[in-house]
Amino acid sequence: MSPSRLLTVREVSDRLRISLASVYSLIKVGVLTSMRVGSKCGAIRVREEDLTTYLDASIQSVSAPVPKAHSVKTSLKHIRLK
């Protein structure tokens, strides 16, 4: 078993074509597994195999129906219009 390559957050961002903030969000909520390298507040790294696992789990079938967004009705009674 060969060691997995460690990717920086920027490399993950480039590969997924999403913002750095989006990558940090995925890591924060636990959807994308990461690790810290170094002492205390070390640099965040993502194993290449963890990125592949995330991508495999994210694949949706083209034939699957797309759910409709629920309309949210907001009450604006607190706003007075003149």
Q: How many CB atoms lie within 10 A of CB 23?
A: 25
Give average pLDDT by consecutive 10-residue segment, the chain, 82 residues.
84 96 94 90 94 87 56 60 60
CA 43, 48, 50 angle in degrees (round to 5)?
90
pLDDT at residue 41, as a whole number? 83
The encoded tokens of residue 59 equal: 């694949």
H or E element: which one contains 14? Answer: helix 9-16
pLDDT at residue 73, as a whole number? 59
> What is the DSSP-derived secondary structure letter of residue 63?
T
- Cα separation, 14 vs 45, in Å, equals 14
Q: Is the pTM of this model over 0.85?
A: no
pLDDT at residue 66, as a whole number? 56
